[in-house]
Amino acid sequence: MTVAFKTFGCRLNRAETAQFEAAFVAAGFERVPFGSPADIVIFHTCAVTQSAENEGLKLIRAIRKKEPDTLLVLTGCAVEAVRPETLNELGVDLLVTREKKNELVSLVAQHVGQAMCSAPPVPLHTTKRASLKIQDGCDFFCSYCIVPHTRGLPRSRPFETCLQDAQAFIGAGFHEIVVTGCNIACYADGGRNVVDLLAALSALPGLGRLRLGSIEPGTVESDVVALMAQTPTICHFLHLPLQSGDNGILSRMGRRYTVEEITATLCRALEQIPDLALGADFICGFPGETDEAFERTVQLVKAFPFSKLHVFSYSERQGTPACDFSGKIRIPERRERTRHLIALGETKRAIFAQRFLNKPVEFLVEYFNREGQACGWSGEYLHCLVDGVSRDHHCKLCTFYPRQIQGNTLYGSIAG
């Protein structure tokens, strides 16, 4: 039987879907692209924002109407967040809760009456980099976030299992592994934390490079940077969901750090790795965010060489404390602040890219464009367009010297 997958939301969802795909193929199903005729469609949903949830539900309704005989399976955060009566109205054939995710393949096989093969899952080259899930769940309970309610409390995968999965990715030909989870700073197994796991992963034979997902500020980020500074295989990219540059807003959000603490952390990180690429998340228009509070966020961004900002307008999420907070900001003002911070982030990213002119840059060859240029991303998450790369280097790491920079794209040649 054929099975297709549609994934919404975060990198963790995508990492889990990659596991599902490999498991279904190993069980004897045929994976087909989403949109192709399929006997089964797996929807891996997101509910981090109301708009993400609505987008998923809208598509499910459309597929149900278009393909009345297809088996529709729903898993992911929406299963936990959406009201049961709404889920029933979708016409979904099978709901798989977070407690049953590990049994997804067997539940589907049982539902359709298909016997399962016993072959172990083999990582599939569905992307250019492999995402390694090391944990799930979060207990930080930030006032705007529904995730602890949909993902549950922190649960770490066994240390040795993570290493085995990473070795399987390397054996399957992946040259970059991205470490991901719901809150990877919470990782703990047998007295070992996420820094211990990163050190072990980075030492695996055959690894090209290791990239970290988002790290919660006020946790282990300083220890991570110290390891990064002495470990060539770990990308010099640190992404911190800062959310605001104002202490009052951070307190209302339920965040676990102050602006002063994060400023000190960033200064120490840049002392150890001067060309460290800094990524950050920011929410604009959170309830109570005055013009002065927003300006403090702007000044924080200006003070550091951020290279990649994810900026979001605050949106109310039913089931979170912030949804009922006073001091709501008008939606047009939220959007205007978001546009302003995005524009600032783009300027900062272009300035950061200039640092790499005429310096050796390693990038992952992800595809070749119509002009025959190799296209991909550096360890610092800068886009690269490179001439002179052999086609047999597809999905491999190459080094070049950028001779020209436009915006945040590095241009160069292997021959150069």
The verdict on 136 and 94 lying in the same domain is no
pLDDT tens digit sequence for 149-162: 999 999 999 999 99
Q: What is the model's pLDDT at position 416?
A: 47
In this predicted structure, the answer to whether residue 320 has a pLDDT above a threshold of 50 is yes
Residue 120: pLDDT over 80: no
pLDDT of residue 153: 94
Residue range 193-201: average pLDDT? 98
pLDDT band at 273 (very low <50, low <70, confident <90, very high): very high
Residues 192 and 89 in one domain: no
One domain for residues 311 and 275? yes
Q: Whole-model pTM? A: 0.89
125 has pLDDT over 70: no
Instruction: Give me the pLDDT at residue 83, please.
Output: 84
> Could you tell me if 90 and 217 lie in one domain?
no
Asked if the structure places residue 117 within a domain, the reply is: no
Residue 126 has pLDDT above 90, yes or no: no
- Say if 125 falls within a structural domain: no
pLDDT at 82 over 90: no
Instruction: Using the 3D structure, point to which of 327, 354, 381 is the last residue of a domain.
Output: 354
Q: Are residues 155 and 225 in the same domain?
A: yes
Residues of the chain above pLDDT 90, percent: 79
CATH number at residue 142: 3.80.30.20
pLDDT of residue 89: 86
Number of domains in the chain: 3
318-334: average pLDDT: 96
The chain-wide mean pLDDT, for the chain, equals: 93
- pLDDT of amino acid 347: 96
Q: What percent of the chain has pLDDT over 70?
A: 97
Q: Is the pLDDT of residue 147 over 50?
A: yes
Domain ranges, residue 180: 130-354
Question: What pLDDT is attached to residue 414?
Answer: 87
* Residue 234 φ/ψ, nearest 5 degrees: -90, 125
Same domain for 178 and 76, yes or no, is no
Confidence of residue 122 (pLDDT cuts 50, 70, 90): low
The reply to whether 337 and 236 lie within a common domain is yes
CA 410 vs. chain centroid, Å, equals 23
Structure tokens at 393: 């280097």
Of 325, 354, 383, the domain-final residue: 354
Of 53-57, 202-206, 266-270, the one with minimum mean pLDDT is: 53-57
- Indicate whether 119 belongs to any domain: no
pLDDT in tens, 400-411: 999 999 988 999
Domain contains 309:
yes
CATH number of 105's domain: 3.40.50.12160
Q: Which of 112, 142, 165 corresponds to the end of one domain?
A: 112
Mean pLDDT, residues 292-307: 98
User: What does the pLDDT look like over 215-242, one tens digit per residue?
Assistant: 999 999 999 999 999 999 999 999 999 9
pLDDT of residue 185: 96
Which burial class, exposed, middle or buried, applies to 354 when counting CB atoms under 10 A from its CB (0-12, 13-18, 19+)?
A: exposed
Instruction: Report pLDDT digits (tens) over 22-56.
Output: 889 888 999 999 989 999 999 999 888 888 888 88
CA 88, 151, 178 angle in degrees (round to 5)?
A: 120
As a whole number, mean pLDDT of residues 263-282 equals: 97
Q: How high is the pLDDT of residue 88?
A: 82
Sign, CA dihedral 87-90-91-94, equals negative
Higher pLDDT, residue 345 or 173: 345
CB neighbours (10 Å) of residue 239?
21
Provide the token pair at 352.
């950061």
